[in-house]
Amino acid sequence: MITTEQEQQVTDYLIFHRLPLDILLEVKDHMISRWRIFRQKKT
């Protein structure tokens, strides 16, 4: 599971790279879902 702090780090990283909001949300969603899949496979 991704923590709130980790999710904020992802958001901050994407904002730092000045992505448009709609792209930022899509990329963030993708990154978080991939992280969850990765963690599920590990356990």
Q: Express each pLDDT in 1-43 by its tens digit.
A: 789 999 999 999 999 999 999 999 999 999 999 988 998 888 7
Domain assignment of residue 16, given as a range = 4-38
pTM: 0.76
Tokens, residue 28: 């963030």
Half-sphere exposure of 29 (CA within 13 A, CB side): 6
* Measured distance CA(39)–CA(19) in Å, rounded: 26
- How many CB atoms are located within 10 Å of the residue 10 CB? 17
CB 10 within 8 A of CB 32: yes
Please indicate, yes or no, if residue 26 is contained in any of the structural domains: yes
Please indicate, yes or no, if residue 20 is contained in any of the structural domains: yes
Q: How many domains does the chain have?
A: 1
